[in-house]
């Protein structure tokens, strides 16, 4: 439970600050779109370029 609290309370603000800065410049909907695109591209990168990720779920 403490690790979960550390991740939520400690690491989340590191992403909130850049997102709120971006939101002040281009608005909320575009910030969400950019954030979703980053997460999607990173997911594709992990699935295609790092085959070890696919084998971890089978163990």
pLDDT single digits (tens) 3-45:
777 777 777 777 788 889 999 999 999 999 999 999 999 989 9
- In the predicted model, is pLDDT for residue 54 greater than 80? no
Name, in order, each residue with C-beta under 8 angstroms of 34's C-beta and a sequence gap of 6 or more.
22, 26
Domains in the chain, number: 1
What is the extent of the structural domain holding 21?
Answer: 2-56
50 DSSP 8-state letter: -
28-49 helix and 12-26 helix, angle to the nearest 10 degrees: 130
Opening angle at CA 35, ends 30 and 20, nearest 5 = 70
Token pair recorded at residue 18: 């850049």
């Amino acid at each position: 439970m403490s690790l979960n609290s550390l991740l939520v309370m400690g690491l989340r603000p590191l992403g909130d600050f850049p997102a709120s800065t971006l939101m002040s410049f281009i608005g909320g909907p575009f910030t969400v779109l950019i954030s979703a695109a980053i997460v999607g591209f990173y997911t594709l990168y992990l699935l295609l370029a790092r085959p070890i990720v696919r084998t971890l779920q089978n163990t």
